[in-house]
Amino acid sequence: MTKGNRLYVPKGGDLRKSLISECHDTLWAGHQGEERTYALVQRAYYWPQMRDDVETYVRTCLICQQDKADHQKKAGLLHHFPSQRDPGRVSPWTTFLVLPKVGDLGSIIVVVDRLSKYATFIAAPKHVTAEGTAHLFFKHIVSIGACQDIVSDRDSRFTGVFWTELFKILGSKLSMSSSYHPQSDGQTERFNSMLEEYLRHFVRGTQKDWVDQPWT
């Protein structure tokens, strides 16, 4: 069987693996990367999920792992966020939890104070703007006490110029958790997990009564 000018390779046996090896391990192939190896194989052959098979083969090639230089940038050292010791000022962790839309509401802003561990859950529109988030934050959080510093995830509602200038005026510091590393915001992630568990226990199957729960 053929597909265009390419020969179809059946799944049985080690033929597919042998062809990938020929286009990767040999002297003329030179242990190239995934894209170049795939280009060589697919010139003359065809089978479903060929790219996946090539990627798996190249990524698990022992010689490539041992001999090739690592071109990835070294990760920096992790730093702990400083502990908050002043009970007169709030130092919250902030993140968003998206839920099924009910009326104008479709998310919960989760705020956890680093000193007291007190959590506040604020019902908000699913696509609330930076200005809308600020209004809710001032209504529910700043009314409790001035914010010394705030740690949030990298949601665009917190990374924009609006929030940066706002906290500059207030004399507060705005910090971001590490990208793709929710553990750096561990306290809030823990409360998110607890909140999701609570929702599973007490919200009906329609998922439309979460706004009626006592924490909203």
- Two tokens, residue 182: 């929710």
Predicted pLDDT of residue 177: 54
Predicted pLDDT of residue 99: 78
Predicted pLDDT of residue 182: 45
In DSSP notation, 122-159 reads EEE-TT--HHHHHHHHIIIIITT--BSEEEE---HHHH
Length in residues, the chain: 216
Predicted pLDDT of residue 48: 92
Cα–Cα separations (whole angstroms), residue 55 to 21, 52, 58, 174: 12, 5, 5, 41
pLDDT tens digits for 36-68? 999 999 999 999 999 999 999 999 988 888 776
Residues of the chain where predicted confidence (pLDDT) is lower than 70:
68-96, 143-167, 169-188, 201, 204-208, 214-216
Predicted pLDDT of residue 145: 64
Partners of 7 in beta bridges: 2, 45
Following CA atoms 28, 33, 38, 41 in sequence, which dihedral angle do they give, to the nearest 10 degrees? 20
Q: For residue 139, how many other CB atoms are within 10 A of its CB? A: 10
Predicted pLDDT of residue 8: 93
Predicted pLDDT of residue 16: 93
Q: Look at the block and give the residue holding tokens 């071109």.
A: 71
88-120: string of b/e by CB count within 10 Å (b at 16+)?
ebbbbbbbbbebeebeebbbbbbbbbbbeeebb
Q: Helix (H, G, I), strand (E, B), or coil: what is residue 30?
A: coil
Q: For residue 213, how many other CB atoms are within 10 A of its CB? A: 15
Domains of the chain (ranges plus CATH)?
2-67 (1.10.340.70), 92-212 (3.30.420.10)
Predicted pLDDT of residue 71: 58
- Two tokens, residue 52: 């996946």
Following CA atoms 157, 163, 167, 173 in sequence, which dihedral angle do they give, to the nearest 10 degrees? 50
Predicted pLDDT of residue 88: 43
Q: What is the model's pTM?
A: 0.49
Predicted pLDDT of residue 22: 93
